Amino acid sequence: MELELRHLRTVRAIADTGSLTKAAASLGLAQPALSAQLRRIEKALGGPLFDRDHTGARPTPLGELVLERARVVLPAVSELQEEAVRFAHARGTIERFRLGGTHGPLLGGLVDRLAAAHPTAPVSTYTSWSVAELASLLIGGRLDFALIGTCGESPPPEPDRLSWRVVGVDPVFVMLPESHPLAGRPELELSALAGECWADVPGDGCFADCFATACARAGFTPASVYETETASVVHLVQVGRAVGLCRATFPPTPGLVTRPITGSPLSWRHLLGWHPRSPDADRAAGGVSGHAGAAYAQAVARSDSYPGWLAGHPRFGAAS
C-alpha cells in the first residue's frame, strides 16, 4: 500500500482526539473501518504508530515521527491547493468582482460604485454573519474582496495570511423609536437604558462580550438581548419591544432615531480584505479600497446625527 494524504489525516485525527472512537466520529467512519485502516497504515510504515489501551491512544516514537512530518506536509498541500485555485482564477485584469461582506449598507454602496466604474464587469456578492467564513473564502480564492467589521481594536481574521485595510471607524449608537421618552436627547448615558431589552445582529466576534462589559460598568445587566437579522432588529425597535445597537452609519429609517452613547464605550471598525497572493485582487486593491472609502463617506453623510457628532470626536470616521 502506498501512503496517501488521507492516511496522514487519519493518523493526525487519532493523535488529536486521543482515541480511535473519537477519531472515527470526526472522520465520519465506523470504528472497525478506522481500526482496519490504521493496521494497513502501520504495515506500510513498518510498525505500530500508537499504543492503545482503555485510556485511549498515544503515539509511539514511530508515530511521533510520522506526526511531525504530517504536520508539515498537510498544511503545505492545503496551501498548494489554495494557490492553484487563485492562479486558475487569475486573469491579469479584473473582469469581475466577487465581494463578500457582513450585512450592512457599505457593501451595497461598494457594489454601486464598482458597477459605475466598471460597467462591463459583473459584480457578485456573498453575505455572512461570520467573518471567519469570509476570510476562509478569501484564502480559498472564492472571493476577491471582503468588507467586514470588527469590534473595537480586535484583530481581523487571518491577519498573517490576508491583507486588511481600515475603511472607517464608527462608534456604536443606540436605535430608538421616535416615540421613546429619550429620543429627543442628543446623547444618551448607557445607564439611562438599564431597564430596556436590547436587539442586535449576530456575529462571531467579541461584540456581545464587550457590550455586556459596558453595561456592567454602567451598573446593570441587560434584561435580554435579541440577536437577529437587521430587518427584525428594526421591527423590534419600531414596535417598542427593544432598543437597538447599530453602527453610527446605519441609514435613516422612518420611525427611528439613532443616538450616540456618552463616552463611546463601543466602537466598530470597517475593514476591506483581500489575499495578497491573488494577483488580480492585489492589483485592484487600491481602487477598490478607494471606492469602499467613498461608500463609507456617503453613509456618513446620509446620517441625520452622525456628521455633527463626528466634528467633536476626531478619532472616529474615515481612515486617513
Identify the structural domains of the chain with CATH numbers, from first to last.
Answer: 5-89 (1.10.10.10), 92-320 (3.40.190.290)
- 43, amino acid identity: K
pLDDT at 75: 83
164 backbone dihedrals φ, ψ, rounded to 5°: -130, 135
- Between CA 270 and CA 267 the distance in angstroms is 10
Chain-centre distance of CA 115, in angstroms?
25
Q: Report the Cα 238 to chain-centroid distance in Å.
A: 28
Position 184 scores a pLDDT of 93
Instruction: Show the cell assigned to 234.
Output: 428594526
Q: Which residues pair with 97 in a beta bridge?
A: 123
User: How many CA atoms, within 13 angstroms, populate the side-chain half-sphere of residue 176?
Assistant: 23
DSSP 42: H
What's residue 92's pLDDT?
47
pTM of full prediction above 0.75: no
Contact indicator for 209, 287 with CB cutoff of 8 Å? no
Nearest to 44 by CA among 5, 10, 7: 7
Going residue by residue through the chain (320 aa), what tens digit of pLDDT does each one get? 678 888 888 889 999 999 888 888 888 888 888 888 889 988 888 899 899 888 888 999 998 988 898 888 888 777 777 666 655 555 545 578 999 998 777 999 999 999 999 898 899 999 999 999 999 999 998 999 999 999 999 999 999 999 999 999 999 999 999 999 999 999 999 999 999 999 999 888 899 999 999 999 999 999 899 999 999 999 999 999 999 999 999 988 999 999 999 999 999 999 999 999 888 888 889 999 999 999 999 999 988 889 989 989 989 999 87
Q: What is the pLDDT of residue 82?
A: 67
